[in-house]
Structure 1
């Protein structure tokens, strides 16, 4: 079921393992920063933005408005993917990865400094949306560039393994962001946390940005991109080539990626909001559950990358999709009990199931596109999935208002997400680079 090595990534010369590890680590540091900043926003959208930036007597209306700002960032991501993907295929992977990480960090710090609705009125939610858009634009080019350079700086037999390392940024960023919120909420009173304490995790993005920039400066350019430059083969219109010659690969890549993004936000952001609003569970307990799920996600992603190396990436996606479909209804039944232990177990198991496909998604996506348009192809396909994922909590919340706040529609949504990934896994090997009408 795995994509044949001959159609994955071009290889000009052997790459030392030390180089592969160093590049993969630098890529991981950036994605950890990305997920820290981006998940800060999703958590704050579930916990405080509805009160701080939206004025409404109806708690549900304010929550949906808050989730709308979350979705706006995901709409901006494909635009960022188009821009930075094009630049990454034109000027190189390293330069763009420095730009995206700075953009993510600065926009996050500014969100932490933004006055609320009660201080500056309607300007506050407008500014929040603008900063979310800027954050989304930068995020749009970060993950795709990280997995691209990690894959291109690894030997063919180890690409699933090294391309999975940037995915560790998701649980690490989640642990840091949820941990920061958890500690802040635990130390401060609820009134103080809701008033200004929630800003502390956002302001911590500044020192994290400094560390990320220092490490990213040591990043080496992809040997495949350097080879294209030496051969004067850099694409002048990578986006046009991708949309005209590899549109099927874009759809396949998005379907594979969607389970790791849409499924994740359903099992975390939506459950946090629903648990606090409808089940009367404490924010502290829900954040702790997210941290536990993220900790378990670490070994899952590592093992997923190794399984992808051994059995093929598309097989790992297939197995994870089937597990997600089978577990969907039991997981949300457990959450509906409002028993803290069952909620923690359900969130942890659910995140683990969707993390196996996510672990190998970088290897799958980079195998679908040739080097000269790879950054663009991976950016567009991953951000199509990201844009759709941003609406998952909003859609789930809206559906539950119609069905009477029961959780079975959320289980149906998770099943549909699993089916989409299942279809993508089945057809991934058929739509290789060789069949895209594009050449290395």
Structure 2
């Protein structure tokens, strides 16, 4: 039973734990999923456009390889900005509240993404075009730096410990749904004649960010504050700058969290952004085939996340992360060998297998990272870990492209890179399982 009035916003169980209704827990987790899906849609659009559009329209003064490298470098800039967003919104989330921080992030990324659709190309405004493109990508990165960690933190802090795997997996599903929306949007505009696609067609998915922003703000305004944060507000010894305390008090946990998140971020962009460029420019298949392969992979990823999220509740998210990393490392070579065949069905199989295997670790990443940090440092710790991993891995498409050039286009170079990333995450999962901490929420 509770020692507070049943109608109060935050109740406490006899053991002192916050009490929330099961209906409220599910609604918060669903809201976290919807908001995350819309934000990832905005963010992923840039990756697809970097592989298909930006190298030709914003870096036209460079040769083909240099233009692709420049486009991927601009893509990577957003990852460098993500730790900055993690610090800013980590402070806001741990000091002011999870909910207001998430409202600001969704507005920032929606506006930045919509403005990309309005940006003139190189032939119109010259060098200002790629500079402005990089600045908008920076804004995207800052916003996403505060998004994912806040969403999983809010979902997990409304969930009982024994069900955190499934609640934490819901925001993770936002990633493949965002991929489906962004890749699907590009698949539609790719049906236009090339001249129309280059002139205005590619802009339509970006401009769609404006109406989607209205939906996202409406959803985020209805999200209730975390009961654990509400309880924590009364504590006088809370960190003034939580990110600093993460490095002071939990640097070992931060390192483990970064390693465990590495594959879910870096491997994903290798199997979407890089693989599109690789299949189109090196293997010689059509752009639409590669984009459609990512669509099939995203649909499969949803199934993997749902199933593995439940599995993480039984085996522990660290163990699942470890096994997911090992499976992906072993699958890296077959994935790129299948892509080399240029056979459409085998390419779809390769991309789906690649995204599916790395999603084993990604599915439980939210549950593992939130349990690596105490509540008063959680928003900052989770955001820092995930986004430092993003900053380290955001340039992986660039590195993979450079390695591919050095290896004369041979498949083994990107395969080796993917295997190394997967091995790092396997080690992170191994140590992460031993460092988990939980706080209590009673759900009725």
Q: Shared fold (TM-score greater than 0.5)? A: yes
- Once residues 328 and 15 of structure 1 are traced to their aligned partners in structure 2, the CA distance between those partners, rounded to angstroms, is 43
Q: 3-state DSSP class of the match of 1:369? A: coil
Written as runs of structure 1 = structure 2, the 5 A alignment for 1:277-296 is: 277-296=281-300
2:219 counterpart residue number: 215
Written as runs of structure 1 = structure 2, the 5 A alignment for 1:11-90 is: 12-90=17-95
Asked whether the 8 Å contact 1:318–1:425 carries over to 2, the reply is: yes
Q: 3-state DSSP class of the match of 2:334? A: helix
Deviations 1:292-332 (A, max 9, x none): 00011111111111001122111211221121011111111
Q: 3-state DSSP class of the match of 1:115? A: coil
Indicate yes or no: 2:181 matched with 1:176: yes
After TM superposition, give the deviation of residue 14 of structure 1 in Å.
3.5
- Once residues 308 and 25 of structure 2 are traced to their aligned partners in structure 1, the CA distance between those partners, rounded to angstroms, is 18
Asked whether the 8 Å contact 1:108–1:202 carries over to 2, the reply is: yes
2:234 counterpart residue number: 230
Asked whether the 8 Å contact 2:183–2:291 carries over to 1, the reply is: yes
Q: CA RMSD in A?
A: 1.3
After TM superposition, give the deviation of residue 231 of structure 1 in Å.
3.7
Asked whether the 8 Å contact 2:245–2:377 carries over to 1, the reply is: yes
After TM superposition, give the deviation of residue 349 of structure 1 in Å.
0.6
For the structure 1 residues 231 and 66, does the alpha-carbon distance in structure 2 shift closer, same or farther, using more than 3 Å as the test?
same
Structure 2: segments with no counterpart, 5+ residues: 1-14, 439-444
When the two structures are superposed, what TM-score results if normalisation uses the length of structure 2?
0.93
Asked whether the 8 Å contact 2:18–2:228 carries over to 1, the reply is: no
2:257 counterpart residue number: 253
Indicate yes or no: 2:422 matched with 1:418: yes
Asked whether the 8 Å contact 1:320–1:355 carries over to 2, the reply is: yes
Deviations 1:344-399 (A, max 9, x none): 10000110001111011000000011111100000100001111121110000001
| Count of residues in Structure 1 that have an aligned counterpart in Structure 2 | 424
Decide which of 269, 272, 276 is 2:273's aligned counterpart. Answer: 269
- Once residues 75 and 229 of structure 2 are traced to their aligned partners in structure 1, the CA distance between those partners, rounded to angstroms, is 34
1:106 counterpart residue number: 111
Structure 1: segments with no counterpart, 5+ residues: 1-9, 435-440
Which has a greater percent of helix? 1
After TM superposition, give the deviation of residue 335 of structure 1 in Å.
0.6
After TM superposition, give the deviation of residue 241 of structure 1 in Å.
1.3
Indicate yes or no: 2:306 matched with 1:306: no
2:4 counterpart residue number: none
Indicate yes or no: 2:138 matched with 1:133: yes
Q: 3-state DSSP class of the match of 1:154? A: coil
Indicate yes or no: 2:100 matched with 1:95: yes
Q: More displaced, 99-108 or 271-280?
A: 271-280
- Once residues 271 and 101 of structure 2 are traced to their aligned partners in structure 1, the CA distance between those partners, rounded to angstroms, is 31
